[in-house]
A and B are shown apart, each in its own frame.
Chain A
Amino acid sequence: MFLKDYIKEVYGAVKSLVVGMRRTGYYFTHHKEIITEQYPDNRDTLKLADRFKGEVVMPHNENNEHRCTGCTACELACPNGTIKVITRFDITPEGKKKKAIDKLVYHLELCTMCNLCVTACPSDAIKMAQTFEHSVYDRNKLTKILNNPGSKIMEGVE
Chain B
Amino acid sequence: MWSLSQIAGSIHEWLSTTFNPTIALVLEMVIAGVAIIGLFAVLGLVLVIMERKVAAWIQIRLGPNRVGPKGLLQSAADTVKLLVKEGMTPDGADKFLFNLAPFIAMIVAMLLMAPIAFAKDFQLWDLNIGILYVSSVSSIMVISILMAGWSSNNKYSLMGAMRSGAQIVSYELSAGLAILTIVVLTGSLQVSEIVQSQANGWWLFKGHIPAIIAFVIFMIAVTAETNRAPFDLAEAESELTAGFHTEYSGMKFALFFLSEYVNVFIVCAIGATLFLGGWMPFHIGNWDAFNHVMDYIPSSVWFFGKTFFLIFLIMWFRWTFPRLRIDQLLNLEWKYLLPISMVNLLLMTALAILGWHF
A: residues with CB less than 8 A from B are 10, 17, 20-21, 23-25, 27-28, 31, 33-36, 38
Contact call A25/B316, Cβ cutoff below 8 A = yes
- Residues of A with C-beta under 8 A to B316: 21, 24-25, 28
Of the A-B pairs whose beta carbons lie under 8 Å apart in the complex, a sample of 11, sorted by A's number, is: A17-B320, A20-B321, A21-B316, A21-B320, A27-B59, A27-B60, A28-B57, A28-B58, A31-B57, A34-B61, A36-B60
Contact of A34 among B54, B58, B62, B321 (CB under 8 A): B62
Contact yes or no, A28 B54, CB < 8 A: yes
**Which among A17, A24, A33 is the interface contact of B58 at CB below 8 angstroms?**
A24
B336 surroundings in chain A (CB, below 8 A): 10
List the interface of chain B (C-beta within 8 A of A): 54, 57-62, 316-317, 319-321, 336, 340
Cα of A20 to Cα of B258 in the assembled complex, Å: 29
* Cβ–Cβ < 8 Å partners of A38 in chain B: 62
Least Cβ distance of A8 to chain B in Å? 13
Would you call the interface of chain B mostly helix, strand, loop, or mixed?
helix
Candidates A10, A17, A35; contact of B60 at CB < 8 Å = A35
A34 to B320, CA, bound (A): 18
Cβ of B213 to closest chain A Cβ, rounded Å: 10
Contact status B340-A10, CB under 8 Å: yes
Asked if B320 contacts A33 (CB within 8 A), the reply is no
CA distance A75 to B33 in the complex (A): 73
Closest chain B residue to A29, Cβ basis: B57
Contacts of B320 in A (CB 8 A): 17, 20-21, 23-24
Complex interface: chain A residues within 8 A of B62 (CB): 34, 36, 38
Chain A's nearest CB lies how many Å from the CB of B341?
A: 12
Question: Ordered nearest first, which 7 A-B pairs have the shortest CB separation?
Answer: A24-B320, A24-B58, A35-B60, A20-B320, A28-B57, A36-B61, A28-B58
Q: In the complex the two chains form, what is the Cα distance from A11 to B58 in whole Å?
A: 25
| Whole-angstrom CA separation of A31 from B54 in the bound complex | 11
CA distance A27 to B62 in the complex (A): 12
- Report chain B residues within 8 Å CB of A17: 320-321
Query: Besides the contacts A25-B316, A28-B54, A38-B62, what 8 more A-B pairs have beta carbons closer than 8 Å?
Result: A21-B317, A21-B320, A27-B59, A27-B60, A34-B60, A35-B60, A36-B60, A36-B61
Report the nearest A residue to B332, measured CB to CB: A13
User: Which chain A residue has the least Cβ–Cβ distance from B60?
Assistant: A35
User: B57, A27: Cβ atoms under 8 Å?
Assistant: yes
Report the minimum CB–CB distance from B215 to chain A (whole Å).
13
Q: How far is the CB of A35 from chain B (nearest CB, A)?
A: 5
Say yes or no: B60 contacts A33, CB within 8 Å.
yes
Instruction: Please measure, in the bound complex, the distance between the C-alpha atom of A38 and the C-alpha atom of B71, giving whole angstroms.
Output: 14
Q: Report Cα–Cα, A20/B58, bound state, in Å.
A: 11
Q: Cβ of B59: which chain A residues have Cβ within 8 Å of it?
A: 27
User: Of B61, B319, B340, which contacts A24 at CB under 8 A?
Assistant: B319
Contacts of A25 in B (CB 8 A): 316
Does the CB pair B58–A27 fall under 8 Å? Answer: yes
B-chain residues with CB within 8 Å of residue A21 when the two chains form the complex: 316-317, 320
Closest-CB distance, A52 to chain B (whole angstroms): 21
Measured CB to CB, the closest approach of chain A to B75, in angstroms, equals 20
Residue of A nearest to B65 (CB): A38
